[in-house]
Amino acid sequence: MKILWYMILLTLFQADHFKSQRALMVETQLVQRGIKDKAVLDAMRKVPRHLLVPEKIRDYAYDDRPLPIGEGQTISQPYIVAFMTELIQPTKNMRVLEIGTGSGYQAAVLAEIVKEVYTIEIFEGLGKRAEQDLNALGYTNIHLHIGDGYKGWPEAAPFDAIIVTAAPENIPQPLIDQLAEGGIMVIPVGEEGKVQQLILGEKTKGKFKTRYISSVRFVPFLRENL
Ligand code: SAH
């Protein structure tokens, strides 16, 4: 009985501890660096990032950096997640496609704000773990597919926004095709191991126009069966 109480208290203490770390992360890493979108800040105050990283690195979950999640992949730095989410100007009626589920964190942040999130992961192991974790957190508006995100998700298209979290050398044409009229795409583009360009693309009157946003460094966009 005593042990049970001890465990309950420890769990409560830890939950509280992570909550204050998360509040501090939002304040120092996001607000102070210019993230303004209230929906994005609220979502990041809420999503338990520590429950989406491998257990042994949980204590580092709110650090100002990307972290390893297995298969040589990483969960992005909190700031870059906030920055990319803010760029698509998310609202509650949107349907969003994410390429590169990884830990599922970006998908969860989106799911707090928009109506439906479609997310694709190329590594089966990562995809399955993310699906389990996201289910455990109670998300019912995240649809996960394991496969090559190059092809997008034609059955669910068009999308109001597309966020790509791995860097291809060129923007995949199927993703441009699956963007709705007025839709926004945020995607890092560039060669592996080099500094890449974060590009914002917008489809207006059927035309896809892009502009450079900033320099970034993402893991490479992989291809299946090439
Ligand atoms: N959004 C993730 C970041 C993960 S890093 C998060 O919040 O944790 C990028 C992810 O893209 C990796 O998990 C990698 O396996 C995946 N990836 C790379 N190429 C891909 C492709 N062609 N299709 C789908 N996923 C891909």
In a domain, 1, yes or no: no
What CATH number did the domain enclosing 175 receive? 3.40.50.150
Does residue 118 have its Cβ closer than 6 Å to ligand 1?
no
In a domain, 73, yes or no: yes
In a domain, 35, yes or no: no
Residue 103 designated active-site = no
* Ligand 1 centroid – CA 60 distance (Å): 20
In a domain, 206, yes or no: yes
Residue range of the domain that includes 150: 64-216
Sign of CA dihedral 143, 174, 115, 47: positive
In a domain, 43, yes or no: no
Instruction: Give the C-alpha separation, 24 to 222, whole Å.
Output: 34
Instruction: Give the C-alpha separation, 185 to 16, whole Å.
Output: 36
Nearest CA to ligand 1 atom 13: 102
- Selecting among 76, 103, 214, 215, the annotated active-site residue is 76
The count of structural domains within the chain is: 1
In a domain, 170, yes or no: yes
**Nearest atom in ligand 1 to 102's CA:** 13
In a domain, 152, yes or no: yes
In a domain, 48, yes or no: no
Q: pLDDT tens, position by position, for the chain (226 residues)?
A: 788 888 888 887 777 899 999 999 999 999 999 999 999 999 999 999 999 999 999 999 999 999 999 999 999 999 999 999 999 999 999 999 999 999 999 999 999 999 999 999 999 999 999 999 999 999 999 999 999 999 999 999 999 999 999 999 999 999 999 999 999 999 999 998 899 999 999 999 999 999 999 999 999 999 987 6
